[in-house]
Amino acid sequence: MHIVLMAHGHFAHTPLEEAALARADRIIAADGGAQHVLMAGRIPHLVVGDMDSISTETMEELHAQSVPMHIHPRHKDETDLELALRAADSATEITILGALGGRRDHEWANMLLLAQAPCPARILHQTCSIFLVDHRRPQLTLQTMPEDTVSLIPLTDAHGVTLTGLAYPLSQATLPLGSPRGVSNVALGTCATISLTNGRMLVMHLSRTYSR
């Protein structure tokens, strides 16, 4: 089951983002993310959060559409997107939209939430897809176009890093935490693979086209 989580950050309605919504089996909105879903012409299957970012008009529309809501207190330990991610426990694939473009602390917290995903997950922001590669998902295969940009951001010392299908391949390399060595690699064709044996990395795939 492909579940889309919609946060309340920037949502640009790009073809890639709209295609992810169209392919969703279920849409869960985190608080004000419900407004993005409605503006895209869709109805969320569930809204989760403390509801402090939802306008009165949006709330009225959600009630009119009988959308279920899991309402939490404003003073809580979890972010609204974390609560939405927990509600997606039946997913086999997760796409997170609207996770970037706001406060920097929220952006980083949202990217690191990929570590809590119960299944393969990505953050999609305009033409950039962000994945986490670690012991749970030690290999990632990307569908690319020539000249797409692929960047690796180690979150720990990353060992055994191997890259294929990219202009700057690696074989069993180590990328230390804080190293920019993995930034701005370039896809050569329609497929690239990234793997490691130990550690954690964010993988950012910047597509050069909206057409896919």
Could you state, in order of their start, the residue ranges of all structural domains in the chain?
2-126, 132-206
Instruction: Give 156-203 pLDDT, tens digit per residue.
Output: 999 999 999 999 999 999 999 999 999 999 999 999 999 999 999 999
Compute φ and ψ for 211, nearest 5 degrees. Answer: -75, -15
Q: Which fold has domain 132-206?
A: Rossmann fold (3.40.50)
d(CA 197, CA 55): 46
Q: What is the pLDDT of residue 74?
A: 86
Which CATH number does 2-126 carry? 3.40.50.10240
User: pLDDT per residue over 74-128, tens digit each?
Assistant: 888 899 999 999 999 999 999 999 999 878 999 999 999 999 999 999 999 999 9
Label residues 41-78 b or e (16+ Cβ within 10 Å = b).
Answer: ebebbbbbbbbeebeeebbebbeeeebebeeeeeeeee
Name the pTM for this structure.
0.93
Instruction: Compute the Cα dihedral for 23, 29, 30, 31 and give only its sign.
Output: positive
